[in-house]
Amino acid sequence: MFAPTGFRPSAREYGAAVPICAPGLSLAMAIVYRVHASAVFLVVPICAALLVWLTFLFGRRADGGATGVCAAVLLACSPIFLYQAVQPMSDVPAAAAFMAALVSTSPIAAGVWASLAVLVRPNLVLLLLPLAFLRMGAVPFSGAGKMGEALSWKSGLAVFLGAAVPGGLMLLALNAVRYGGVFASGYGDAGTLFSLDRVGQNLARYPVWVLQTQTPVVLLAVAAPWALRKDPARARLAWIALAAVALLMATYLAYTVFDDWWYIRFLLPALPIALTLSAAVLRSLTDRLPGAVSRVTLAAVTAALALFYAHAARDRHVTDLQRLESRFVLAGEYAAGTLPANAVVLAVQQSGSIRFHGRRDTLTWDAIQPEALDATIAALQARGKAVYLALEDSEEPDFRRRFSGQRAGALDWRPMAELRAPARVRFYEAPSDTSR
């Protein structure tokens, strides 16, 4: 009841709440929070800009500068990338950290970035396997002979794995502190989260959403090793990158089933790879055309895809996110400017924003027993608390159903305020006669 949405009660400290998400993004936000509270919302957009740049670097490494530019443009216009680039969630930072590990030439840097990726999104630990294979192929000391080459890749692999370990150890330590066990998760038991029974349902969702938003052009990525076959090192990079995509897809095919297209956000670490390798195949095809025609054709195809992506983003209300999400800031600012310091607000969707922006205590009403709403309000008021309700349009029917028969559950009095965002938020002052 005391833990806002996105948090759960601590397994170690009575009365404390801990976030359900992995700690990586929160740790990054904690640093900038010291500068200004609202600076936390800059972390993800900065990571988004970094991810676009890293996509260019990967494309340049895989197939040259033209491919890098095309891939970066396509990513920057991708609906799911734009959707997540402005939200304080871990998808874009996790993708940026993984791509940084993929393009880093130094095994130390690659290991550190991989460590951060796991800290932000723990299931990316599976992607350490293709990254390790990539390190095994690195031969920094040319002309050293077979023994020198063997020592080179072995030492590079050891350095990479050594640099990747700290993030994993920190994650396990924080899991123990927050959830009571090193392998515990804020989302629950792994056996509950993952099941082979869900593969069929997710196969009917993720591929459709990806093709609808990215077009079937992304399927060209599987032909990249063939397109790059004249350069064994680049072909090998393509195979390893495709293996990373396959591992990530396999993880989420067995994951909890969702019904909204934007859950392809889970696949964001794979998207720059798919776009880059698809661009490489497109470039190999257009290279068959004469001279300047080849370059113009590649640019035209990239521009057409980018325009389609932008259109798909608009159709899915990506460009409306600021307006749609503004209710969280508005509700928090209203609470800060209007409600007394001793206020306790019963809320669910608004529970975190009222705490963060409004600096007011909250209780999540969906954790209150259906027959205990009136008693809970009366107990708070008896302790000198001013009790309020903050409900979005879609929540009011659920609130009334849950607390049917309770005096406060009727919501039959006028709200004290109505914030008119696309999803309206109403504030109610709780009745003072609920103990009758």
Q: CA gyration radius for the chain?
A: 25
Same domain, 242 and 345: no
Torsion angles phi and psi, residue 255, rounded to 5: -85, 175
Same domain, 336 and 278: no
pLDDT for the residue 181: 87
pLDDT band at 433 (very low <50, low <70, confident <90, very high): confident
Q: Provide the percentage of residues in the chain whose pLDDT is more than 90.
A: 79
- Compute the average pLDDT of residues 95-118: 95
The tens digit of pLDDT for each residue in 249-278 reads 999 999 999 999 999 999 999 999 999 999
Whether 434 is covered by a domain: the verdict is no
Whether 15 is covered by a domain: the verdict is no
- Compute the average pLDDT of residues 102-109: 92
Burial bucket for residue 179 (CB in 10 Å: 0-12, 13-18, 19+):
buried
pLDDT for the residue 153: 64
Same domain, 288 and 337: no
pLDDT for the residue 137: 61
pLDDT band at 189 (very low <50, low <70, confident <90, very high): confident
Q: Is the pLDDT of residue 281 over 50?
A: yes
Whether 2 is covered by a domain: the verdict is no
Same domain, 327 and 280: no
Burial bucket for residue 224 (CB in 10 Å: 0-12, 13-18, 19+):
buried
pLDDT for the residue 421: 78
Same domain, 37 and 149: yes
The tens digit of pLDDT for each residue in 21-50 reads 999 999 999 999 999 999 999 999 999 999
- Compute the average pLDDT of residues 150-157: 68
- Compute the average pLDDT of residues 130-153: 58
pLDDT for the residue 188: 77
Last residue of a domain, one of 263, 294, 316: 316
- Compute the average pLDDT of residues 283-292: 91
The residue that leads in pLDDT, 364 or 185, is 364
The tens digit of pLDDT for each residue in 344-356 reads 999 999 999 999 9
Least confident piece of the model among 41-50, 120-129, 222-231, 426-435: 426-435
pLDDT for the residue 142: 36
- Compute the average pLDDT of residues 337-343: 96
pLDDT band at 435 (very low <50, low <70, confident <90, very high): low
Q: Is the pLDDT of residue 148 over 60?
A: no
Same domain, 252 and 338: no
Q: What's the mean per-residue pLDDT of the chain?
A: 91
Same domain, 231 and 94: yes
Whether 5 is covered by a domain: the verdict is no
Whether 391 is covered by a domain: the verdict is yes
- CA dihedral for 393, 395, 397, 403, sign (positive or negative): negative
Give the span between the Cα atoms of 394 and 423, in whole angstroms. Answer: 8
pLDDT for the residue 1: 87
- Compute the average pLDDT of residues 189-196: 79
Say if strands 417-419 and 425-429 run parallel, antiparallel, or are unpaired.
Answer: antiparallel
Domain residue limits at 379: 322-429
Give the span between the Cα atoms of 119 and 107, in whole angstroms. Answer: 18
The single residue listed with the structure tokens 């599987």 is: 222
Same domain, 311 and 408: no
pLDDT for the residue 47: 97
Whether 1 is covered by a domain: the verdict is no
Total count of domains within the chain:
2
Rounded to the nearest 10 degrees, how much is the dihedral formed by the CA atoms of 140, 142, 148, 150?
A: 60
Q: Which residues pair with 427 in a beta bridge?
A: 390, 417
pLDDT for the residue 71: 98
Same domain, 277 and 405: no
Last residue of a domain, one of 261, 290, 316: 316
pLDDT band at 149 (very low <50, low <70, confident <90, very high): very low
Same domain, 125 and 272: yes
Whether 3 is covered by a domain: the verdict is no
Last residue of a domain, one of 275, 295, 316: 316
Residue 228 near residue 236, CB atoms below 8 Å: no
Give the span between the Cα atoms of 106 and 114, in whole angstroms. Answer: 12
Same domain, 245 and 177: yes
The tens digit of pLDDT for each residue in 365-423 reads 999 999 999 999 999 999 999 999 999 999 999 999 999 999 999 999 999 999 987 88
Whether 36 is covered by a domain: the verdict is yes
pLDDT for the residue 423: 84
The tens digit of pLDDT for each residue in 297-326 reads 999 999 999 999 999 999 999 999 988 899
